Amino acid sequence: MKTLFSGRRLVVLAAYLVIIVLAPLLSPKGYWVSLLCRIGITTVFALSFNMLLGQTGLLSFGHAVYFGLGAFATIHLLRAIQQHAWSFPITLLPLAGGMCGLLFGVALGYVTTRRAGTTFAMISLGIGEMVAASSLMFPAFFGGEGGVSGNRVTAPGWFGITYATPLQMYYLIAGWAFLCILAIYTLTDTPLGRMANAVRDNPERAEFVGFDPQWVRYLIVVLAGFFAGVAGGLAALNYEIVTAETLSAATSGIVIMMAFVGGIGHFAGPIIGAVLITVLQIVVAGMTEAWPFYFGLLFALLVLYAPGGIAGIVAEHKRLFDAGQLGRALHGYLLGLLPFTLCAAGAITLVEMAYALANTPDRRNAPLHIFGTTLNAGRPFGWVPPIAAVIVGALLLRAIARRTRGRDLVYTSLLQRQV
Amino acid sequence: MTAPALRLAQVRKSFGRTEVIRGVDLAIEKRERHAIIGPNGAGKSTLFNLISARFPVSSGTIEVDGEDVTGLRPFQVHRRGLSRSFQISNLFHNLSVFDNVRCAVLWPLQYRYSFWHRLSGLRDAANRADEIITAIGLSRRRGTPASMLSHAEQRALEIGITIAGGADVILLDEPTAGMSHTETADAVRLIRRVTEGKTLVMVEHDMSVVFGLADRISVLVYGRIIATGTPDEIRNNVAVREAYLGTELADARGA
Residue B47 lies in a domain: yes
How many domains in chain B?
Answer: 1
Which residue range(s) make up the domain with B112? 6-254
Q: Which residue of A has its CA nearest to B163?
A: A209
Chain B interface includes A6 (CB < 8 A): no
Residue A220 lies in a domain: yes
Residue A63 lies in a domain: yes
How much of chain B, in percent, has pLDDT values that exceed 70?
95
Decide if pLDDT at B252 tops 60: no
Q: Are both A206 and A261 inside the same structural domain?
A: yes
In chain B, residues with a C-beta closer than 8 Å to the C-beta of A3 are: 121
| Cross-chain residue pair A191–B147, CB shorter than 8 Å | no
Q: Are both A271 and A346 inside the same structural domain?
A: no
Q: Are B81 and B168 in contact (CB under 8 A)?
A: yes
Higher pLDDT, A145 or B149: B149
Domain containing residue A27: CATH number: 1.10.3470
Chain B interface includes A197 (CB < 8 A): yes
Q: Are both A96 and A223 inside the same structural domain?
A: yes
Residue B93: which of A192, A202, A223 has the nearest Cβ?
Answer: A202
Residue A314 lies in a domain: no
- Number of Cβ within a 10 Å radius of residue A162: 13
Q: Are both A396 and A268 inside the same structural domain?
A: no
Q: Which of A9, A189, A200, A208 to mutate to test the interface with B (most CBs of B within 10 A)?
A: A208
Partners of B225 in the β-ladder: B220
pLDDT in tens, B9-49: 999 999 999 999 999 999 999 999 999 999 888 899 999 99
Residue A301 lies in a domain: no
Q: What is the pLDDT of residue B245?
A: 55
Domain boundary among A289, A309, A338: A289
Residue B54 lies in a domain: yes
Domain boundary among A247, A263, A289: A289
Q: Are both A381 and A258 inside the same structural domain?
A: no
Q: Are both A239 and A111 inside the same structural domain?
A: yes
Q: Are both A267 and A411 inside the same structural domain?
A: no
B208's CB contacts (< 8 A; 6+ apart) are: B184, B252, B255
Q: Are both A103 and A178 inside the same structural domain?
A: yes
Domain containing residue B103: CATH number: 3.40.50.300
Q: Where are the alpha helices (DSSP H) in A83-190?
A: 93-112, 117-137, 139-142, 166-188
Q: Are both A38 and A111 inside the same structural domain?
A: yes
Q: What is the pLDDT of residue B255?
A: 43
Q: Which residue of A has its CA nearest to B118?
A: A190
Chain B interface includes A297 (CB < 8 A): no
Residue B1 lies in a domain: no
Q: What is the ipTM of this complex?
A: 0.92
Interface A-B: count of C-beta contacts within 8 A = 117
Residue B62 lies in a domain: yes
In chain A, residues with a C-beta closer than 8 Å to the C-beta of B113 are: 191-192, 195, 211, 215-216, 219
Residue B216 lies in a domain: yes
Q: Which residue of B has its CA nearest to A214?
A: B75
The minimum CA-CA distance between B89 and chain A, rounded to whole Å, is: 10
Q: What number is the average pLDDT over the span B173-186? A: 90
Q: What is the pLDDT of residue A416?
A: 46
Rounded CA separation A363/A378 (Å): 9
Domain boundary among A289, A311, A342: A289
| Cross-chain residue pair B115–A204, CB shorter than 8 Å | no
Q: What is the pLDDT of residue B248?
A: 55
pTM of the model: 0.91
Strand B199-203 to B33-37 pairing:
parallel
Q: Where are the alpha helices (DSSP H) in A162-245?
A: 166-188, 191-201, 203-207, 213-239
Q: Are both A361 and A271 inside the same structural domain?
A: no
* DSSP helix, strand, coil percent of chain A (3-state; round to 5): 80, 0, 20
Q: Which of A15, A42, A37, A5 is nearest to A24 (CA)?
A: A37
Q: Are both A333 and A261 inside the same structural domain?
A: no
Q: What is the pLDDT along chain A (419 residues), one digit of tens a residue?
A: 345 556 788 898 899 999 999 999 888 788 899 999 999 999 999 999 999 999 999 999 999 999 999 999 999 999 999 888 778 888 999 999 999 999 999 999 998 998 888 999 999 999 999 999 998 889 889 998 889 999 888 766 677 778 888 899 999 999 999 999 999 999 999 999 999 999 999 999 999 999 999 999 999 999 999 999 999 999 999 999 999 999 999 999 999 999 999 999 999 999 999 999 999 888 888 888 888 888 888 899 888 888 899 999 999 889 888 888 888 888 888 888 888 898 888 888 888 888 877 777 776 667 777 777 777 777 777 788 888 889 998 898 888 877 766 544 444 444 444 43
In chain B, residues with a C-beta closer than 8 Å to the C-beta of A186 are: 118
| Cross-chain residue pair B119–A219, CB shorter than 8 Å | no
In chain A, residues with a C-beta closer than 8 Å to the C-beta of B69 are: none
Which residue range(s) make up the domain with A351? 323-418
Residue B42 lies in a domain: yes
Residue A315 lies in a domain: no
Q: Which residue of B has its CA nearest to A187?
A: B115
Q: Are both A207 and A277 inside the same structural domain?
A: yes
Residue B90: which of A202, A216, A419 has the nearest Cβ?
Answer: A202
| Cross-chain residue pair B120–A189, CB shorter than 8 Å | yes
How many domains in chain A?
Answer: 2
Rounded CA separation A212/A222 (Å): 16
Q: What is the pLDDT of residue A363?
A: 67
Q: Which of B90, B113, B122, B123 to mutate to test the interface with A (most CBs of A within 10 A)?
A: B113
Residue B107: which of A190, A211, A415 has the nearest Cβ?
Answer: A211
Chain B interface includes A140 (CB < 8 A): no
Q: What number is the average pLDDT over the span B109-123? A: 94
Residue A317 lies in a domain: no
Rounded CA separation A289/B243 (Å): 78
Residue B119: which of A194, A202, A216 has the nearest Cβ?
Answer: A194
Residue A46 lies in a domain: yes
Higher pLDDT, B182 or A381: B182
Residue B111 lies in a domain: yes
